[in-house]
């Protein structure tokens, strides 16, 4: 069936009970003599639809079933080159010949090449005729698009790539004009493009539908209630000082010192709120104040893991049972139910090294201890009762453990874990990855959920045997007396709300400045690989290959942030690679990425221009209309919701009951609403200069009504006192109808007398009217403040 393709076109996709459906779209079938390539497919589509490549561009998406068994769930995946087409075909058939290739196509007329938009077409593919310099050629099994060099060589155009070039290849002149364009644009907060509705500007959107459809952030923004994620990590085995001779050269002494001091509990509410803002499209957290992420710098400074070295990947040449028997001296009981090494067995056999152990026994226990560090903290298994054993062939060789980049592998594993977890919405969803790194990173940068540190007790560096035993930044969070805020405030909804309100000045953008860490006397490993912190080489851990995007968070390094940041595809295909596809040749499959990591020094960003705040404001203007930054929706309202002042007793009772069950009342949506409305009023007020009297009166009326709404949203008890001050529609219409005539009369009267302050007459009367109904308001106003009435003014009625 790979020779037959169903083509759907002529409308929009619809969402059904089992995911994406084609609805009433036009359906046509295309037979091929042999399984078609991507180019052959597109050629056939042009012919079938009667289109010309010179005038139209065709975009294709394939429908595939990601459900299991009888539980079908269909999603759309982009098809834009040979690799994506090949992977789609494999995903559809997946061992059976009875499925069918279903492709949805959209035809678009070519746009004029000028002007070239400075915003990245993030949903479009890279042109097939673009060959990167210094990178291996594209292969269906390799993802060369992960690396985005500054130079691109364009070969002779093909008929399918003309329009793609207009969207993707941008001139340096267009880049130079970015700041000028964005500097003159304002974010329209009243349009709610980044609010709870989740709507964003699709012309520059950072969100990809394949990821966003089931993203936790989207679910929260639509009002859905989610549970916290279940963190998975394991404490290591008991430390023995005899292990130090192997831990130091391995670059794991910093992590071991943190564990010896006592690991903190993982705050599941905090890490869950962070994952809600993680975006697989960019490998960054999308905060209200911009993108921010965990970098190689954070891994080195917090945990002291090595960044230089080989990629953590190897082709296994013998079975794990044989490896255990050779390097641990014994093998666990046979268990083929799930991969991994049982934690209970490892603890029972290796938790304590005998006092009279010989050198070989010490090595065996040291390997088991390192496995518990690596498999329990850096690469924890989702099961919770097993250690990840992929790294064991590398751990077995104690003398060469330090030759691998454990820091980059840790970051790759955490990236993948968050990419998976941010799309899980069930009550029992797990979160793996190095959560110790994630939590320490959050404490270093955000005040949200951060404990109060009291008198940290650092080791005396003069008494240490080796400089490699010096502390890392992460150690300060476990050696000091840290006190947490009261438990009722530490809930998931609270952290979600606080991240919704996070401001630029609350973030510690550069926590590792010399003045902040000089008193720690850090271990040399924390900074020895600083020349690699800005590399763009991919991060590799066996079956995982993750894109590292420091160019999106240059402010974290105190450097200039390009606006918008250059887009590099985080590769949907690579996110599909998982350990469920059992194989032992990952080093061969990912050879192109491994080769890129081996020359990581050649891919370092060479940026010398320092951070500029004005430039960053330009970036924020683009960013806020390109993604979703508000996740909180109105859930509990103090008697006022969405501007409505009339509520039923039943609704009030339900809100009161729910509020009594919560430990925290969210306020982010309230602050967002007040901020948006005040922003609109401020902009309108700035534009009122030189306006007519009628326009000013209308503006005053809008201010009055908005103030009433805001008082109601804030739960003000004085709402009933000011509601009567709002003019009804008939009074407003009558006054506005005669306003023009009065303005004309006033202009004639004023032109006949010198400029002076009138203390009486019709001018004074208009100054005190404020467009309110005299029959309802004036008597109250004048009776309450008679001393403020102008002398000679009209008497109250």
pLDDT tops 90 at residue 132 = no
Q: Are 536 and 550 in contact (CB under 8 A)?
A: yes
Predicted local distance difference test score (pLDDT) of residue 70: 57
Predicted local distance difference test score (pLDDT) of residue 376: 93
pLDDT tops 80 at residue 581 = no
Predicted local distance difference test score (pLDDT) of residue 289: 94
Q: Are 693 and 524 in contact (CB under 8 A)?
A: no
Strand ranges in 22-132 using DSSP code E only, listed in sequence order: 26-31, 56-65, 74-79, 101-109, 130-132
- Quickly list H helices, 304-396: 320-327, 343-350, 359-373, 392-396
Determine which of 292-296, 477-481, 780-784 has the lowest per-residue pLDDT on average.
780-784
Give this prediction's pTM: 0.63
Work out the pLDDT band at 465, boundaries 50, 70, 90.
confident
Give, in order, the Cα–Cα distances in Å from 262 to each of 230, 477, 480. 21, 10, 11
Work out the pLDDT band at 92, boundaries 50, 70, 90.
confident
Cβ-count burial 46-56 (b if 16+ within 10 Å, e if not): beebebebeeb
Predicted local distance difference test score (pLDDT) of residue 432: 94
pLDDT tops 90 at residue 328 = yes
What is the mean predicted confidence (pLDDT) over 634-650?
41
Task: Reduce the DSSP state of residue 183 to 3 states and report it.
Answer: helix
Could you give the CA distance from residue 122 to residue 130 in angstroms, rounded to a whole number? 17
Could you give the CA distance from residue 104 to residue 737 in angstroms, rounded to a whole number? 56
Determine which of 29-38, 209-218, 565-574 has the lowest per-residue pLDDT on average.
565-574
Predicted local distance difference test score (pLDDT) of residue 550: 97
Predicted local distance difference test score (pLDDT) of residue 761: 39
Q: How far apart are the first and last CA of the chain?
A: 88
pLDDT tops 80 at residue 358 = yes
Tokens 């936790």, residue located: 216
Could you give the CA distance from residue 700 to residue 684 in angstroms, rounded to a whole number? 11
Which residues, including other chains, have CB under 8 Å from residue 45's CB and lie 6 or more apart? 7, 30, 51, 58, 60, 103, 105
What is the mean predicted confidence (pLDDT) over 449-467?
76
Which residues, including other chains, have CB under 8 Å from residue 10's CB and lie 6 or more apart? 25, 26
Determine which of 127-131, 396-400, 646-650 has the lowest per-residue pLDDT on average.
127-131
User: How many angstroms separate the most distant Cα atoms in the chain?
Assistant: 113
Candidate CATH numbers 3.30.930.10, 3.40.50.300, 3.10.20.90, 1.10.1740.10; the one for domain 1-116 = 3.10.20.90
Could you give the CA distance from residue 308 to residue 672 in angstroms, rounded to a whole number? 44
* Residue 121 burial by Cβ neighbours in a 10 Å radius (0-12, 13-18, 19+): middle
Determine which of 53-57, 101-105, 660-664 has the lowest per-residue pLDDT on average.
660-664
Predicted local distance difference test score (pLDDT) of residue 305: 97
Give, in order, the Cα–Cα distances in Å from 153 to each of 124, 138, 676. 19, 14, 46
Q: Higher model confidence: residue 412 or residue 53?
A: 412
The CA-based angle 510-515-517, given to 5 degrees, is: 75
Could you give the CA distance from residue 430 to residue 303 in angstroms, rounded to a whole number? 23
Give, in order, the Cα–Cα distances in Å from 98 to each of 92, 94, 101. 10, 10, 10
Predicted local distance difference test score (pLDDT) of residue 780: 40
Could you give the CA distance from residue 502 to residue 448 in angstroms, rounded to a whole number? 9
For the chain, how big is the Rg over CA atoms in Å?
A: 32
pLDDT per position as a tens digit, 368-408: 999 999 999 999 988 878 898 899 999 999 999 999 999 99
3-state helix, strand, coil in the chain (%, to 5): 45, 10, 45
pLDDT per position as a tens digit, 733-762: 444 444 444 444 444 344 333 343 333 333
pLDDT tops 70 at residue 684 = yes
- The residues that bridge with 544 in the sheet, in sequence order, are 541
pLDDT tops 60 at residue 778 = no
Domain positions in the chain: 1-116, 216-533, 649-788
Task: Return the half-sphere exposure (C-beta side, CA atoms, 13 A cut-off) of residue 37.
Answer: 6
pLDDT per position as a tens digit, 427-456: 889 999 999 999 999 999 999 999 887 776
Predicted local distance difference test score (pLDDT) of residue 520: 81
Residue-by-residue DSSP string for 514-543: HHHHGGG---GGGTTTGGGTTB-PPEEETT
Q: Are 370 and 240 in contact (CB under 8 A)?
A: no
pLDDT per position as a tens digit, 147-205: 433 333 323 333 333 333 323 323 332 333 333 333 333 333 333 434 433 444 433 46
Predicted local distance difference test score (pLDDT) of residue 11: 87
Work out the pLDDT band at 414, boundaries 50, 70, 90.
very high
What is the mean predicted confidence (pLDDT) over 571-583?
56
What percent of the chain shows pLDDT beyond 90?
A: 38
Q: Are 90 and 129 in contact (CB under 8 A)?
A: no
Could you give the CA distance from residue 580 to residue 573 in angstroms, rounded to a whole number? 15
Instruction: Choose the most confident range, by mean pLDDT, from 78-82, 770-774, 793-797.
Output: 78-82
Relative to beta strand 230-231, strand 430-431 is parallel
What percent of the chain shows pLDDT beyond 70?
A: 66
* Residue 362 burial by Cβ neighbours in a 10 Å radius (0-12, 13-18, 19+): middle
Instruction: Choose the most confident range, by mean pLDDT, from 148-157, 299-308, 507-516.
Output: 299-308
């Amino acid at each position: 069936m790979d020779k037959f393709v169903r083509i759907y076109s002529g409308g929009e996709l619809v969402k059904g009970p089992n995911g994406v459906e084609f609805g009433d779209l036009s359906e046509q079938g295309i037979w091929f003599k042999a399984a078609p390539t991507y180019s052959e497919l597109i050629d056939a589509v042009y012919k079938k639809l009667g289109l010309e490549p010179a005038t139209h561009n065709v975009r294709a998406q394939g429908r595939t079933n990601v459900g299991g068994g009888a539980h079908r769930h269909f999603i759309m995946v982009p098809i834009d080159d040979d690799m994506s087409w090949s992977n789609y075909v494999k995903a559809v058939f997946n061992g059976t010949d009875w499925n069918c290739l279903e492709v949805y196509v959209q035809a678009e007329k070519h746009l004029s090449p000028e002007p070239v938009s400075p915003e990245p077409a993030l949903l479009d593919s890279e042109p097939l005729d673009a060959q990167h310099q210094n990178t291996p050629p594209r292969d269906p099994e390799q993802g060369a698009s992960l690396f985005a060099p500054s130079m691109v060589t364009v070969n002779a155009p093909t008929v399918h790539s003309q329009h793609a070039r207009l969207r993707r290849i941008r001139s340096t002149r267009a880049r130079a004009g970015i700041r000028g364009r964005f500097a003159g644009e304002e974010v329209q907060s009243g349009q709610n493009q980044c609010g709870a509705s989740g709507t964003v500007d699709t012309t520059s959107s950072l969100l990809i539908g394949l990821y966003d459809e089931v993203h936790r952030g989207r679910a929260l923004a639509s009002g859905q209630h989610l549970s916290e994620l279940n963190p998975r990590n394991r404490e290591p085995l008991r430390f023995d000082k005899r292990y130090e001779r192997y831990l130091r050269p391995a670059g794991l002494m910093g992590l071991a010192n943190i564990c010896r001091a006592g690991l903190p509990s993982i705050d599941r509410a905090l890490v869950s709120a962070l994952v809600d803002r993680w975006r697989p499209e960019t490998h960054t957290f999308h905060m209200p104040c911009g993108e921010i992420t965990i970098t190689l710098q954070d891994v080195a400074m917090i945990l002291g893991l090595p960044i230089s070295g080989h990629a953590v990947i190897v082709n296994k040449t013998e079975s794990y049972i044989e490896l255990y028997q050779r390097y641990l001296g014994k093998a666990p009981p046979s268990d083929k139910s799930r991969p991994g090494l049982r934690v209970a067995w490892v603890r029972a056999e290796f938790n304590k090294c005998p006092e009279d152990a010989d050198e070989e026994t010490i090595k065996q226990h040291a390997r088991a201890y390192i496995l518990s560090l690596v498999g329990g903290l850096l690469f924890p298994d989702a099961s919770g009762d097993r250690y990840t054993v992929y790294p064991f062939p590398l751990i077995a060789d104690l003398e060469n453990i330090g030759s691998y980049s454990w820091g980059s592998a840790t970051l790759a594993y955490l990236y993948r874990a968050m990419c998976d977890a941010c799309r899980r919405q069930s009550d029992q969803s797990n979160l793996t990855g190095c959560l110790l790194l994630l939590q320490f990173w959050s404490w270093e940068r955000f005040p949200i959920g951060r404990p109060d540190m009291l008198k940290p007790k650092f080791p005396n560096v003069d008494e240490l045997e080796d400089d490699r035993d010096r502390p890392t930044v992460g150690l300060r969070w476990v050696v000091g007396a840290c006190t947490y805020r009261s438990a009722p405030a530490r809930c998931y909804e609270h952290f979600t709300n606080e991240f919704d309100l996070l401001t630029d000045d609350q973030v510690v953008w550069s926590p590792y400045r010399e003045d902040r860490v000089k008193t720690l006397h850090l271990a040399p490993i924390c900074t020895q690989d600083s020349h690699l912190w800005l590399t763009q080489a991919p991060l590799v851990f066996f079956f995982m290959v993750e894109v590292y995007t420091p160019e999106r968070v240059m402010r974290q390094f105190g450097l200039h942030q390009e606006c918008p940041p250059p887009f590099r595809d985080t590769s949907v295909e690579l996110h599909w690679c998982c350990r469920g596809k059992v194989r032992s040749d990952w080093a061969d499959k990912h050879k192109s990425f491994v080769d890129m990591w081996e020359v990581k020094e050649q891919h370092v960003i060479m940026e010398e221009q320092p951070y500029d705040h004005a430039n960053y404001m330009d970036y924020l203007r683009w960013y806020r209309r390109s993604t979703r930054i508000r996740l909180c929706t109105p859930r509990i309202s103090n008697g006022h919701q969405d501007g409505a002042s009339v509520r039923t007793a039943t609704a009030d009772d339900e809100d009161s009951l729910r509020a009594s069950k919560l430990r925290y009342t969210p306020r982010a949506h309230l602050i967002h609403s007040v901020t948006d409305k005040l922003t609109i009023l401020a902009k309108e007020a700035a534009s009122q200069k030189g306006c007519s009297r009628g326009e000013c009166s209308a503006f005053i009326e809008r201010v009055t009504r908005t103030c009433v709404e805001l008082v109601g949203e804030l739960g003000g008890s004085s709402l009933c006192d000011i509601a009567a001050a709002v003019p009804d529609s008939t009074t407003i219409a009558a006054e506005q109808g005669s306003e023009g005539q009065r303005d004309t009369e006033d202009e004639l009267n004023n032109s006949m007398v010198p400029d002076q302050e009138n203390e009486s007459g019709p001018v004074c009367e208009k100054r005190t009217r404020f467009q309110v109904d005299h029959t309802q308001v004036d008597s109250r106003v004048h009776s309450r403040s008679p001393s403020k009435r102008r002398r000679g003014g009209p008497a109250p009625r």
